[in-house]
Amino acid sequence: MSLKESRWEELADIKRVLAKRDWFPGTSGNLAIKVDQQPLTFLVTASGKDKTKESNEDFLLVDKDGKPVENTHLKPSAETLLHVEVYNKTNAGCSLHVHTIDNNVISELYGDKGRITFKGQEIIKAYGLWEEDAEFTIPIIHNHAYIPKLAAEFGEYVKEDAGAVLIRNHGITVWGRNALEAKKYLEASEFLFSYHLKLLAYQSIK
Amino acid sequence: MSLKESRWEELADIKRVLAKRDWFPGTSGNLAIKVDQQPLTFLVTASGKDKTKESNEDFLLVDKDGKPVENTHLKPSAETLLHVEVYNKTNAGCSLHVHTIDNNVISELYGDKGRITFKGQEIIKAYGLWEEDAEFTIPIIHNHAYIPKLAAEFGEYVKEDAGAVLIRNHGITVWGRNALEAKKYLEASEFLFSYHLKLLAYQSIK
Amino acid sequence: MSLKESRWEELADIKRVLAKRDWFPGTSGNLAIKVDQQPLTFLVTASGKDKTKESNEDFLLVDKDGKPVENTHLKPSAETLLHVEVYNKTNAGCSLHVHTIDNNVISELYGDKGRITFKGQEIIKAYGLWEEDAEFTIPIIHNHAYIPKLAAEFGEYVKEDAGAVLIRNHGITVWGRNALEAKKYLEASEFLFSYHLKLLAYQSIK
Amino acid sequence: MSLKESRWEELADIKRVLAKRDWFPGTSGNLAIKVDQQPLTFLVTASGKDKTKESNEDFLLVDKDGKPVENTHLKPSAETLLHVEVYNKTNAGCSLHVHTIDNNVISELYGDKGRITFKGQEIIKAYGLWEEDAEFTIPIIHNHAYIPKLAAEFGEYVKEDAGAVLIRNHGITVWGRNALEAKKYLEASEFLFSYHLKLLAYQSIK
C-alpha cells in the first residue's frame, strides 16, 4: 500500500466513524490528511458529497495552495484554505472540520468573548495536559463568508502542531500530529462543549 | 440497471440512512423520487411499513395523480398527494417527509406565526445561499386531517425546485432537484431546528 | 419455517432494532409474541440476558400461566405475568415492555394524576385514530414490587387488542394485534413522551 | 479457546457495544477482565488507543500490580491501578471505566456532598436489590491527578464484589462478578444519572 493509499484509509476510517454520529449534516464538514511534506501534498474531501456514502472520489490530492495535483473533475472542499494554513504553518498531519449542534451553540454563547476556557475536567488530558488544574482555551473567530479572509483569521491561531479553533455559528476545526491526535482533539472538544452546556443548565436551576 | 431501478436504489439508500436515525417513528414518514417526466411517474413509499426493514415492496410506482401505474396489492403512502404537488409544480426530483421531535417542537412554537426564519448560520449554505447574512424561511401550515386539503395548502408553498414546509405538530416535507439536494435540505433544516432550540434554552438562562 | 420459528424471527428482529436504540439498559425490558391460541403459547424473553447479544436462548415458549412448556434451564422474564394478562384477555399477538428515560420521566411527572392524554399530534394516527382532534390516553399505574399484584393492576387496563400502560418509575408496556402494531404503538408513545417533554421545556421559557 | 481468549472475547464485545454509544471520547475509558485468580492476572485496555477500532493489541495481560506479564511494547492504561484495587480486594471478575456527559454532570452537581443516592426506581433491581424502596448510593471521590493517590481513595469504596464509584469531573468505575454484571451495573448507573437529571429539569419548571 502506498503512503497515499494508507493515508486515504486513515481518513476514510475517521469519515466513517464521524458520519455514524451524524457530524456532517447537509454535506457540511471537511477532512484532510497530509501525504508528503516536500513538496507538501495532502488529501482533502471533495466538495458537496454526502459523507454517509463511501467512494473512491471522497478525497483528492492537493498541493500547498490547495490546488489539485492530479487531473480530476473533483473540486476540493470550499474550505480547503483552512487546511492549507495548518500544513503550511505547523507539522500537523491531519485536520478535521465538523458542524455539531453543541459546537455551534458554544460558539454563539461565547462568541463575543472570542474564546472559551476549560479547566478541572479529566478529558483535558486528551490535549496532552496532565496537571490537575490544566486549562485549555479554544479561540472563537468570526465566520467570514469570504474564505481567504476566514482562512487568514483562522491562521492567526495556528501555531502549534495540534490545536482547535471555533468558527462562530459554523463549526470547529482541529488538527494534530496524526489522525489519532486530531480525532482525539475533536472528541475531547465536543465532550467539553456538551458537558459545559449541560452543567450550565443544571447550575441555573439548583 | 433501468432508470427505475437506479432511482429505487437512491431512495432505498436515503431510507436506510434516515431509519438509522429513527426518523420514521411508528411507521411515519414517506419518501418519493421521480422516475419519468413525460408522462410523470415517481416511486413513493408503500403505506404502513416499518421503515427499519428493507424489502422489494418498500416503494411503488405512481402517476401524476398518485395512483399506482402497475398492478399491485400495495397502497401508496396516505400522503402521496403532497409529493404529487411537488412533481406537478416544479422540476424537483426527490421529496422527503419525516417526523422528528425537533421539527414538531419548532412547528408548534412558531405555528401561530406561520413561519420560522433562520439567519447568520453557516449551514444555510446548504440551501444554496452563500451570502454572509443570507436568510431562509420555512412556512408552517395547519395539519388538516383531510389530505387533499392539506396537499392544497402545502401546494401554495411549492414554487421553487427545492424547498421546505413544516406541517404543525406533524413534520417537515422537503424537496430538491435530486436525492442529494432533498437530503441536504432535510439535514440542514433539522440542524437549524435543533440549533435554534438549544440556543434558545441557553439564551434564557444566561 | 414453523410458526414458532417465524414468530421467533419477528421478535428477534424487534429486539435487535430496540437494542440498537439502547432501550434495554441493565438487562431490563421484556418482549413476547403469541405462537398458538388453543392452547395458548407465547415466546417470551429469557430472564437476565444482555439484549444487545443474540442467541438461540433469547426466548422460550410458555403457556397461559407463563410457565415453560418445554424442558429448559431458561427462566422466563420475571414480568411474564404482564404478558399473560395481555394474551388471556385480548386477541393481541405481541407485547413489548421497555425502560426509557423519557417514559420514566413522564410516568413520574404525571404519576399522581394516574394518566397522560395526548391530543393534536399527527403521530396519534399510529394508534389507529384518524380524526383531527383524536385523543389517546395512557394510564400510569403504581410499580408494585410484587409481580402478581403489578400484573393484576396492569390487567385492569388490558381491554382492547392494542394498548399501552405506563408503570411509574419503571417503563411502558404496549401490545398490538401483531408485531408491527405493537412496535408502532411503542414508537408512537415514545415519540409523544419526548415531544411532550421538549415542548413543555420551551413553553416554560417563551 | 483458552480462558484468556474467551475473556478477551467477552471484553472485546463490551468494548464494541460501548464504543457504538460513543462512551470512549478522546481515547478515554479503560476496561478490565480477570483471567486467573492464583496468581492474579487480568486483561486491561492498552493505553492511548481509539476504542472505535478493533485489533489484537486492544488489551494486554497484567499481574496483581498492574504490570505486563508478557513481553510487549504495549502500555497498560494509565488508570490500571484502579482495576488492581478491584481484583485485589474483591472477587469481582470485570471492571469498567467510562466518561459520559451525564456521569460527569452528576459527579460535579453532587461532588460536594460526596455521594448520590437513588431510590424508588425499577432499574435499581439491576444492582440485585429487589425491595420496593431499595436505595443505592454511589460515592463521588476527588479526581486526584496522581493515579496512586486516586487508586487509594477509590480503594476505600471497593468492598463488595460488585459496585460503582464516581470520580468527580472524570467518570465512573463499576465492577461485578463477571462481564454481564459489570455491564449491568454500568448501564443501570447511566440510566439513573440521565433519569435523575431529566426529572430534575422538569420538576424545576412544573
Mean pLDDT of D56-74: 97
The reply to whether residue B25 touches residue C202, judged by beta carbons under 8 angstroms, is no
- For residue A75, the model assigns a pLDDT of 98
User: For chain A, what is the mean pLDDT?
Assistant: 97
Burial letters for D148-178: b for 16+ Cβ neighbours within 10 Å, e otherwise?
eebbebbbebbeebbbbbbbbbbbbbbbbbb
Average pLDDT over chain D reads 97
| Alpha carbon distance A94, B62 (integer Å) | 48
Residue range A154-173, pLDDT digits in tens: 999 999 999 999 999 999 99
* Chain B residues within 8 Å of chain A (Cβ atoms): 13, 17, 21, 120-123, 126, 130-132, 180, 183-185, 187-188, 190-191, 194-195, 198-199, 201-203, 205-206
Nearest residue in chain D measured CA to CA from C167? D122
Which residue in C101, C55, C96, C104 sits closest to C79, CA to CA?
C96
pLDDT (mean) for C99-111 = 98
Q: Do A171 and A28 contact (CB within 8 A), yes or no?
A: yes
> Cell match 451525564: residue?
D102
CB atoms near residue B65 (< 10 Å) = 10
Torsion of CA C105, A190, C24, D179, to 10 degrees: -130
A26 chain-B contacts, CB cut-off 8 A:
123, 126, 184-185, 187-188, 191
Task: Return the exposure string of D60-97: e unless at least 16 CB atoms fall within 10 Å of the residue's CB, then b.
Answer: bbbeeebebbeeeebebbebbbbbbbbbebbebbbbbb
| Position C132 pLDDT exceeds 90 | no
Residue D132 has pLDDT above 90, yes or no: no
Separation of alpha carbons A184 and A61, rounded Å: 24
Q: How far is CA D131 from CA C49, C145, C191, D118, D181, in A?
A: 21, 7, 31, 13, 19
Cross-chain residue pair B191–A50, CB shorter than 8 Å:
no
Predicted local distance difference test score (pLDDT) of residue A94:
98
pLDDT tens digits for B4-58?
999 999 999 999 999 999 999 999 999 999 999 999 999 999 999 999 999 999 9
What does the pLDDT average to over B118-144?
A: 95
Q: What is the reported pLDDT for D1?
A: 82
Contacts of B167 in chain C (CB under 8 A): 122
Q: Which grid cell sits at D11? A: 471484553
Pairing of the two strands A163-167 and D163-167: unpaired
Average pLDDT for C40-49? 97
Confidence check: pLDDT of D54 > 80: yes
pLDDT computed for residue A1 by the predictor: 81
Predicted local distance difference test score (pLDDT) of residue D116: 98
Q: Does the structure show a pLDDT above 90 at A206? A: no
Q: Using the predicted structure, report yes or no on whether residue D206 has a pLDDT greater than 80.
A: no
Half-sphere exposure of A181 (CA within 13 A, CB side): 17
pLDDT of residue B131: 87
Long-range pairs of B38-44 with CB within 8 A, sequence gap ≥ 24: B39/B63, B39/B64, B40/B64, B40/B87, B40/B88, B41/B69, B42/B83, B42/B87, B43/B4, B43/B7, B43/B8, B43/B11, B44/B76, B44/B77, B44/B80, B44/B83
Is the pLDDT score of B1 beyond 90?
Answer: no
- Mapping DSSP to helix (H, G, I), strand (E, B) and coil, where does residue A154 land? helix
For the residues D115-126, what does the mean pLDDT come to?
A: 97
pLDDT at C65: 98
CATH of the domain at C95: 3.40.225.10
Confidence of residue A76 (pLDDT cuts 50, 70, 90): very high
CA distance B84 to chain A (A): 25
Residue A21 DSSP one-character state = T
Q: Do D187 and C25 touch (CB under 8 A)?
A: yes
| Residue A101: pLDDT band with limits 50, 70, 90 | very high
Average pLDDT for A80-106: 98
- Number of domains into which chain A is organized: 1
Residue D146 pLDDT exceeds 80: yes
> Is B122 in Cβ contact with A167 (below 8 Å)?
yes
| CA atoms of D134 and A29, how far apart (whole Å) | 48
Span D162-176, mean pLDDT?
Answer: 98
- Going by pLDDT thresholds of 50, 70 and 90, the confidence category of residue D2 is very high
Residue C195, domain extent: 3-205
Grade residue D133 by pLDDT with cuts at 50, 70 and 90: confident
